[in-house]
Homo-oligomer: A and B are copies of this chain.
Amino acid sequence: MEAKMSAGQQKQSARGKILDAALMVIRAKGYTATTVDDLCAASNVTKGAFFHHFKSKDDLAIAAADYWSEMTDKLFAAAPYHDYSDPLDRVLGYIDFRKTILTGTVPEFTCLVGTMVQETYDSHPAIRDACARSIRGHAAKIETDISAAIKAHGVKAGWTAHSLALHTQAVLQGAFILAKATGGPKIAAESINHLRRYVELLFNRPQKKS
């Protein structure tokens, strides 16, 4: 407990190491195919340590979903688009930011909870709910800016800030599936371009070339 356990990776607790490993391994192999031993090997932790910190594999999944929310919250809170004064710019900036983080391998840029909910929604309600919380929590933040953008620019209805916020998440999740099917982020980026164009059209914003 000396020092503030430097968010690095060296002096990290077993629990933290398992959680970090879980984000990568589960995104790569899927939840069911990920074994407890996989997680232990990837985090250099023994099985005893695993079950000391998590009472079951399902319990780890829920903790991983919460940890994922925490990590992504930090990532997006630190993103540059919050600085724009026009809320519509913040929405478009969010979409652009999502595109810029499509780098590295597929498991590195895809979404943990989107992956997990597919395998667990019917058989593991607690995990499904944790995933749903994570997605909804993230969508709620974008919804705030969308609502402000609606107020700032007068837009005729037919849709709500809530449904548009969820739609952005649907596009992203779907883009990840296409990326997995094709092996790269290129198709995903093009789908995000379409999403940006849609928002521009909804708000009658002159389009940039993209």
Which of A's residues lie within 8 Å of B, judged by CB?
28-30, 32-33, 106-107, 113-115, 117-123, 128, 131-132, 135-136, 158-159, 163-164, 166-167, 169-175, 177-178, 180-183, 187-188, 190-191, 193-194, 197-198, 201-202, 207, 209-210
Contacts and interface: CB of A to CB of B under 8 A. Distances in A.
Number of copies: 2
A181 B122 contact: no
A139 B107 CA distance: 24
B121 A118 contact: no
Q: For chain A, what secondary structure do more than half of its interface residues adopt (helix, strand, loop), or is it mixed?
A: helix
A207 to B, nearest CB: 7
Contacts of A131: 181
A177 B114 contact: yes
B170 A177 contact: yes
Contact of A29 (B123, B175, B182, B198): B123
Task: List the 6 closest pairs (A to B, CB-CB), nearest first.
Answer: A174-B174, A170-B174, A30-B119, A173-B174, A32-B32, A121-B180
A175 B177 contact: no
Contacts of A121: 106, 180-181, 183
Contacts of A166: 178, 187, 190-191
A176 B170 CA distance: 8
A93 B120 CA distance: 33
A49 B36 CA distance: 33
